[in-house]
């Protein structure tokens, strides 16, 4: 018997009897991002679409199907996500969730922001829940983990290195979650706060500008202008976004038919819902339901 065989025999002989023959060690609870992509933005590029640049003057709202970790390393600016706006200084960041509308304001001509985009399936998404709409400071420990992750990321795209990068990015997110939460600029602003409360509670009702303005006791033109001034996005875009986000939740977790979900979320008809959904998510509501449940099962 060789030395290696002896060591293996000893190791096997020392194994304990399982308490449960169907439950073993598993990495399912780890935060393991997939399909990771990193890049930086260091100046304004006044593009109208795509990832090739960001601009405070482009007038566009970005909305992607991936998670986006944004970390400010140099330069300050304001970032809006849905109807909240935060001012980011050096050493602060935010994790934006899939399909969240986001936009930029008051950017300097030169800055340095890191973007880490990724996908997450199954239970891993639950790990990130507390980071939604809660940007925070990036501690020295988090920056150290970021540096380690980037070194791994730059090491190549082979399967083993990709797994190491996934583990490293998971540690980054764990450290990021420990940072101090930033306060939104103008958090709780009167008009936006009232509109949000009304919209969230009446998704199936008439949410036209005039209907909401009637509830707020003002004219439609005043409400439209005031809402954009306070939040940075149009009222109509906000209403559609909230309805679609609610619809994605019901498609993933609920049991209602697609037509019922369309009515509950205020789209009026299956056709209107399907058209709006496909424009944003690039697939039909039924396809989204099927895909999201497959991914959830895989997790």
> Cα Rg for the chain, rounded, in angstroms?
23
Tell me the torsion sign for CA atoms 291, 294, 298, 299.
positive
CA–CA dist 292, 270 (Å, integer)? 20
Q: What is the pLDDT of residues 56-95, one digit of tens each?
A: 655 555 667 789 999 999 999 888 887 678 888 999 999 9
Q: At what angle do helices 285-298 and 270-281 cross, to 10 degrees?
A: 50
What pLDDT score does 230 carry? Answer: 76
CATH number at 190-298: 1.10.10.60
What pLDDT score does 93 carry? Answer: 96
Query: DSSP of 208-262, one letter per residue?
Result: -HHHHHHHHTS-HHHHHHHHHHHHSS-HHHHHHHHHHHHHHHHHHH--S-HHHHH
Asked whether 205 and 211 are in contact (CB, 8 A), the reply is yes
Q: Which two tokens stand for residue 251?
A: 């498609």
Q: Which two tokens stand for residue 135?
A: 């940007």
Q: Where are the domains of the chain?
A: 34-176, 190-298
Least confident of 123-132, 142-151, 201-210, 244-253: 123-132
| pLDDT for residue 142 is more than 80 | yes
Topology adopted by domain 34-176:
Jelly Rolls (2.60.120)
Q: How many residues does the chain have?
A: 299
Q: If you average pLDDT over each of 20-34, 203-217, 279-293, which comes out highest?
A: 203-217
Work out the average pLDDT over 146-175: 94
| pLDDT for residue 187 is more than 50 | no
Q: Are strands 77-81 and 102-105 parallel, antiparallel or unpaired?
A: antiparallel
What pLDDT score does 53 carry? Answer: 61
What pLDDT score does 253 carry? Answer: 81
Q: Are strands 77-81 and 136-137 parallel, antiparallel or unpaired?
A: unpaired
Query: DSSP of the chain, one letter per residue?
Result: --HHHHHHHHHHHTPPPPS-TT-----TTS---EEEEEEEEEEB---SSSSS-B-SSS---B--SSEEEEEEEE--EEEEETTEEEEE-TTEEEEEPTT--EEEES--SEEEEEEEEEE--TTHHHHTGGGTT--EE--HHHHHHHHHHHHHHTT---HHHHHHHHHHHHHHHHHHTTSPBPPPTTTT-HHHHHHHHHHHH-TTS---HHHHHHHHTS-HHHHHHHHHHHHSS-HHHHHHHHHHHHHHHHHHH--S-HHHHHHHTT-SSHHHHHHHHHHHHSS-HHHHHHHHHHHHHH-
Strand order in the sheet with 67-74: 34-43, 110-119, 67-74, 92-96, 136-137
CA–CA dist 94, 7 (Å, integer)? 49
Residue 283 CA, distance from chain mean position: 18
What pLDDT score does 62 carry? Answer: 67
Q: Which two tokens stand for residue 6?
A: 């002896």
Work out the average pLDDT over 226-246: 83
Q: Which two tokens stand for residue 207?
A: 């949410």
Confidence of residue 122 (pLDDT cuts 50, 70, 90): low
Confidence of residue 37 (pLDDT cuts 50, 70, 90): very high
What pLDDT score does 48 carry? Answer: 43
Least confident of 32-36, 246-250, 259-263: 246-250
CA–CA dist 262, 203 (Å, integer)? 10
């Amino acid at each position: 018997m060789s030395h290696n065989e002896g060591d293996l025999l000893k190791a096997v002989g020392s194994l304990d009897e399982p308490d449960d023959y169907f439950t073993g060690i598993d990495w399912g609870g780890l935060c393991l991002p997939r399909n990771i992509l990193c890049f930086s933005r260091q100046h304004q590029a006044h593009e109208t679409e795509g990832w090739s640049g960001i601009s405070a003057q482009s007038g566009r709202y970005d909305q992607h199907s991936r998670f986006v970790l944004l970390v400010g390393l140099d330069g300050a600016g304001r970032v809006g996500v849905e109807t909240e706006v935060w001012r980011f200084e050096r050493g602060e960041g935010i994790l934006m969730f899939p399909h969240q509308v986001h936009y930029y304001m008051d950017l300097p001509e030169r800055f340095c922001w890191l973007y880490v985009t990724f996908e997450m399936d199954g239970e891993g998404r639950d790990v990130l829940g507390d980071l939604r709409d809660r940007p925070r400071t990036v501690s020295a420990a988090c920056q150290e983990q970021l540096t380690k992750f980037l070194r791994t990321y730059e090491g190549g795209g082979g399967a083993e290195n990709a797994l190491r990068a996934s583990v490293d990015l998971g540690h980054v997110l764990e450290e990021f979650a420990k940072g101090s939460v930033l306060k939104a600029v103008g958090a709780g602003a009167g008009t936006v706060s009232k509109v949000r409360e009304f919209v969230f509670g009446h998704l199936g009702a008439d949410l036209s500008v005039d209907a909401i303005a009637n509830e707020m006791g003002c004219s439609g033109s005043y409400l439209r202008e005031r809402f954009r001034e306070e939040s940075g996005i149009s009222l109509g875009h906000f209403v559609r976004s909230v309805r679609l986000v609610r619809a994605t939740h019901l498609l993933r977790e609920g049991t209602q038919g697609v037509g019922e979900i369309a009515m509950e979320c205020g789209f009026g008809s299956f056709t209107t819902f399907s058209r709006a959904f496909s424009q944003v998510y690039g697939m039909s509501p039924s396809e989204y339901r099927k895909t999201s449940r497959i991914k959830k099962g895989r997790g």
